[in-house]
Amino acid sequence: MQARPVTPQKPLVDFVAVADLPTQYALAPFRAHAFRSRLDGSEHLALVSPGVAVGAPLVRMHSECLTGDALGSLRCDCGPQLQESLRRLAASAGGILVYLRGQEGRGIGLANKMRAYALQDGGLDTVEANHALGLPEDARDYAEAAQILQALGASAVRLLTNNPDKVAALQRHGIEISAVEPLVIPSNPFNASYLDTKARKFGHALPLSTPQKR
């Protein structure tokens, strides 16, 4: 698959390059498409699995998480979600992973995420910690992701997510969601509360590990 020029209506990203990316997840390489944000210079990557999708491709929008994706942090489910996404996309012809840079800590940045972690160690949940720092609970925007999908010819997708905000955001930006497929990772002792907060305060389709307080 070759990326198309980004839509001329208020383009937010520019297509930069494409190359093969062999991985442990597929026998044939993914095609890695690099895009650069016109807003802040962030460089995003879209991996397209081998083959051609029949109908709407399976898509995962994954926000950058250095601690989870690269360092194996157990405080979130990001690393295992990324790995499971790549496995499922590799098994689905023409599947797309949009890896969004600059969205660390739901958009608050790496250093602020560490500040929020320190407050969480004192008993706050992720939402309360962000508010205590004067930061939004979720600062992410998915307009650039929508334009990347459009550049790849994916105007309708099967979205791999538990997050209803991602579904609504893509729809607002002109992407048709033909189906939503869950991506549930088992909790561990370090992220059970984090996942419960996702379910209770963000509406993620996740099982609760602790009883709801009445």
The SS3 of residue 82 is helix
pLDDT digits (tens, 9 = 90+) for 129-171: 999 999 999 999 999 999 999 999 999 999 999 999 999 999 9
Told to judge if 140 belongs to the known catalytic residues of this protein, a careful annotator would answer yes
Told to judge if 138 belongs to the known catalytic residues of this protein, a careful annotator would answer yes
- The active-site residue out of 77, 138, 158, 196 is 138
Tell me how far apart the alpha carbons of residues 95 and 33 are, in angstroms, rounded to a whole number. 13
Mean pLDDT score, 168-176: 95
Domain boundaries in the chain? 17-103+140-202, 108-137
pLDDT digits (tens, 9 = 90+) for 58-114: 999 999 999 999 999 999 999 999 999 999 999 999 999 999 999 999 999 999 999
| Run of H or E including 107 | helix 104-107
Say what the pLDDT of residue 214 is.
41
pTM: 0.90
Span 17-103+140-202 CATH architecture:
3-Layer(aba) Sandwich (3.40)
Say what the pLDDT of residue 23 is.
96
Beta bridge partners of 43: 36
Tell me how far apart the alpha carbons of residues 82 and 99 are, in angstroms, rounded to a whole number. 9
Say what the pLDDT of residue 82 is.
97
The SS3 of residue 11 is coil
**Total residue length of the chain:** 214
pLDDT digits (tens, 9 = 90+) for 25-51: 999 999 999 999 999 999 999 999 999
- The active-site residue out of 140, 196, 200, 214 is 140
How is residue 212 annotated by DSSP? P
Asked if 14 and 43 count as a contact pair (C-beta separation under 8 A), the reply is no
How is residue 101 annotated by DSSP? T
